[in-house]
Amino acid sequence: MVKGLSHMTFIVSDLDRMEVLLTTVLNARKVYDSGDRTFSVSRERFFLVGDGAADPDAPAPIWIATMEGAPLPSPTYNHVAFKIEETDYERCLAAIQSLGLEVREGRARVDGEGGSIYFHDYDNHLFELHTGTLSERLARYARER
């Protein structure tokens, strides 16, 4: 039985550059660096995003693995979305822009489904920072019926 998300792995061309992105935009904390050793398919680093320890109702921190390798050949809409608070929207947007990353225009939204910031990293992975929740979105969509 699936119990939840274990981790996400991103293949990146530059581990240092991705570390800056994760720590600057997502406030990630690095918990492991393989250095020149290879236990998996390439050099890797592990990060934790989120702080479940501060709030017993918060989800557990998210484990993100980065592994050195070739970037994706092109950007797509396949993406991972991280939940942010509305009050963090402007800080996150400024952090993304400070790294020279282009913010992608999001899809059209209806009032009540939350706001999103979309951006591609240096290796064509698409990230979304989203202020809404699933229950808010479903409630909003139900009002359209």
Q: What are the catalytic residues?
A: 44
Which amino acid belongs to residue 24? T
Tokens 């019926």 label which residue?
145
Assign 3-class secondary structure to 78-125.
Answer: CEEEEECCHHHHHHHHHHHHHCCCCEECCCCCCCCCCCEEEEECCCCC
| Dihedral sign of CA atoms 120, 96, 113, 85 in order | positive
Strands 79-83 vs 103-104: parallel, antiparallel or unpaired = unpaired
